[in-house]
Structure 1
Amino acid sequence: MTYVLVLVVLALAFPWGVAPIARHLAGLLGPRAACWVLTAAAVLLAGGTISALIGLFHVPFLAALEQLSLARVVEVWPAAVPFAAAAGAVMLAQLVLLVRRWLQHRSVLRRAWLSAGEGKGDGDLLVVPGSDVDAFALPGYRGRPGRVVVTSEMLRSLKAGEREVLLAHERAHLAGRHHLLSAVVDLAAVVHPALRSLREALAFHLERWADEEAAAVVGDRRVAAAAIARAALAGGSRSRGGGYPLLSVTSGPVPQRVEALLLPEPQAPRGGVRRAGMAALAGSVLTAAVAALALAYGLHEYVEYAAQQLIGAGAPSGCSGIWSTLHALFGTGAP
């Protein structure tokens, strides 16, 4: 295996090792911080994956950019074209899946706004008549501000104090722009399959974030827990494609959320050992993600340097040093 290939494999393999670290770190933090950690990790790891693929894909094209014969590059590194073709195919598939996923997001949002058009209410609240039991945060769309959409049947299923929890929960989603965080991680998960676990973890912590905000508004964690449990029982726990774009009080692992609300308000970890552990985990996530980007950039720089050196050689007899350089890079001997 050549040195360049090792760099690329490491960059593409990083997310499999870093995603569990990011999830564990999120579990040590409060809901708000956990959401930002998971989002940042997903963005960095997806960026590293794309950078590695781009670096591998453009190797043969350096020949044209540097006015070097592609045949000469293939002579030095025979696997350059197959690897570039594979990277190009993967990136094309990623692009198709990203566009498809984004269109799905927009379609769900458009249909939700159409269904909410029957609702009535003041301010940010829309009450939709019907027998369905549902409630969700509806992000802004085409200049219209975000709304909290609640069915009349859901309101009838809850007590007065529980309705306040429900509305506070959905308003927390809108105020925190949670749909954007969910969308970013959802799209990042299309880039690399290892990031799907971050999407699931983020959905849970976003609901926990809104749960804590709702509990703070009503000033009673037990009432908040009861409201979420009753709403879930009335409407049925559901998943909305990773939480985007409709964030609902009944989505996610409701039992774990209720259990967390029955405990004291989460505090930042204390103690030197815990702080050191968190710092180590956070450093691992950031270091691994940045390393993936650095490896991809290094691939570009190494290949470009080799191409420039080869152009500057002038004659085959003077290329022994260049072939040594290429041998170090690609594991290939001189012709």
Structure 2
Amino acid sequence: MTFALVLVVLALAFPWGAGALARRLARALPPREACWALTAAALLSAGGTVAALVGLFHVPFLASLEQVSPARVLRVWPAAVPVAAAAGLVLLAQGVLLVRRGLRQRALLRRAWASVADGTGDGDLLVVPGEEVDAYALPGYRGRAGRVVVTSGMVRALSAGQREVLLAHERAHLAGRHHLLSVLVDLSVVVHPALRPLRASLGFHLERWADEAAAEAVGDRRLTAAAITRAALAGAGAGAAGRGGYPVLAVSTGPVPQRVEALLGPVPTAPRGRARRVGAAGLAVGVAASAVLALGLAYGLHEYVEYAAIAVRGG
């Protein structure tokens, strides 16, 4: 049983290292690849955590399949039932929190759509009257296609060229379905606290992804940097929070100075040579570690149950 317990501990501790590795890897990747790497790390880590807890929770049930009574299981491993009960309680709590977080996400989207009911539509653009200065990508809801929401205050705050950048930025969010990546990582955070830093990291790289898409669309990185700066300064202290909007994909999300600095630099490219090999190796190690821990845990628990069955029958 010691082997199985070691695997359980490793599976539960793995997200601490995986999260740090994913954030470091993301800094070396272009924004699009960084977002996918962070999301994959979050899902793999959360899945491994759930697998470990489910494995612990099923130990008494696995023993019953070997026709071993609970009393005899306790003779071999006195902590079997308490550990299984604790794992079950954690799984129940995670389930409740996941449902609550999912409902919260849905309510946020519903309120965001309700807040733009007075907007004027033009294709995928929705202009909302008011003095608030804000712009964000509003995902689709109940059969309605996603929209780029811009307040009248934001329209007045930007020049024509800057408005073009803004629209390209928000359209990149919708085209890339960035809200789905954000939701997946947000739900993963509920499963394991070590994944919490991935949420902020993903938010930054999603904005960088949209920034680069906007720069490519308008063909001017300096104009894009100026537009992002102007929009963020104009919307400081206001924004979606005041209208009940959808701040996850708002134009001012993330550390704007770092985004502007990146736009003033060269177009990001995937690492080459040794850096590329190291990054790929790091990602491969993470995936392999998750798979090995899951398989090892299943094997260890199976071996434990067989050992317990032989031991109690022999006694």
Give the shorter-chain TM-score range.
over 0.9
Does residue 1:274 correspond to 2:283, yes or no?
no
1:235 shift after superposition: 0.7
Alignment of 1:15-54 (within 5 A): 15-54=15-54
1:47 shift after superposition: 0.4
Letter in 1 for 2:161: G
Partner of 1:293: 294
CA spacing shift, 1:155–1:245, aligned 2, 3 Å: closer
Looking at structure 2, the residues matched to 123 and 22 of structure 1 have their Cα atoms a distance apart, in angstroms, of 38
Percent of aligned positions that are identical: 66
Partner of 1:162: 162
Which runs of at least 4 in structure 1 moved beyond 6 Å after TM superposition?
Answer: 237-240
1:252 shift after superposition: 0.7
Say if 1:18 and 1:284, in contact at 8 Å, map to a contact too: no
Partner of 1:108: 108
Alignment of 1:71-220 (within 5 A): 71-220=71-220
1:244 shift after superposition: 7.3
1:2 shift after superposition: 2.8
Two-structure CA RMSD over aligned residues (Å): 2.0
1:209 shift after superposition: 0.3
Letter in 2 for 1:276: R
CA spacing shift, 1:295–1:245, aligned 2, 3 Å: farther
Say if 2:136 and 2:246, in contact at 8 Å, map to a contact too: no
Letter in 2 for 1:302: E
SS at match of 1:204: helix
Question: Normalising by the residue count of structure 1, what TM-score does the alignment of the two structures yield?
Answer: 0.88
Say if 1:132 and 1:151, in contact at 8 Å, map to a contact too: yes
Partner of 2:258: 256
Say if 1:137 and 1:146, in contact at 8 Å, map to a contact too: yes
> More displaced, 65-74 or 37-46?
65-74
1:302 shift after superposition: 2.2
Partner of 1:306: 307
SS at match of 1:38: helix
Say if 1:133 and 1:153, in contact at 8 Å, map to a contact too: yes
Letter in 2 for 1:29: L
1:121 shift after superposition: 2.0
SS at match of 2:149: strand
CA spacing shift, 1:108–1:213, aligned 2, 3 Å: same
Looking at structure 2, the residues matched to 274 and 83 of structure 1 have their Cα atoms a distance apart, in angstroms, of 43
Cα deviation, 1:232-264, whole Å, max 9, x if unaligned, reads 001127798xx9774111111111001100001
Say if 1:182 and 1:199, in contact at 8 Å, map to a contact too: yes
Question: Normalising by the residue count of structure 2, what TM-score does the alignment of the two structures yield?
Answer: 0.93
Looking at structure 1, the residues matched to 166 and 254 of structure 2 have their Cα atoms a distance apart, in angstroms, of 15
Say if 1:56 and 1:83, in contact at 8 Å, map to a contact too: yes
Cα deviation, 1:49-82, whole Å, max 9, x if unaligned, reads 0000000011112233333211111111101011
Say if 1:44 and 1:290, in contact at 8 Å, map to a contact too: no
Alignment of 1:53-72 (within 5 A): 53-72=53-72
Looking at structure 2, the residues matched to 301 and 228 of structure 1 have their Cα atoms a distance apart, in angstroms, of 56
Say if 1:45 and 1:292, in contact at 8 Å, map to a contact too: no
Partner of 1:11: 11
1:299 shift after superposition: 3.6
CA spacing shift, 1:245–1:229, aligned 2, 3 Å: closer
Cα deviation, 1:178-203, whole Å, max 9, x if unaligned, reads 00011001100110011111111111
Largest Rg, 1 or 2: 1
Letter in 2 for 1:267: T
Say if 1:52 and 1:295, in contact at 8 Å, map to a contact too: no
SS at match of 2:137: strand
List gaps (5 residues or longer) in structure 1: 320-334
Say if 2:185 and 2:199, in contact at 8 Å, map to a contact too: yes
Looking at structure 1, the residues matched to 69 and 180 of structure 2 have their Cα atoms a distance apart, in angstroms, of 46
Say if 2:127 and 2:151, in contact at 8 Å, map to a contact too: yes
1:230 shift after superposition: 0.5
Looking at structure 2, the residues matched to 215 and 187 of structure 1 have their Cα atoms a distance apart, in angstroms, of 31
What number of residue pairs does the alignment pair up? Answer: 311
> More displaced, 290-299 or 13-22?
290-299
1:37 shift after superposition: 0.7
List gaps (5 residues or longer) in structure 2: none
Cα deviation, 1:134-153, whole Å, max 9, x if unaligned, reads 11111010111101111000
Looking at structure 1, the residues matched to 98 and 289 of structure 2 have their Cα atoms a distance apart, in angstroms, of 24
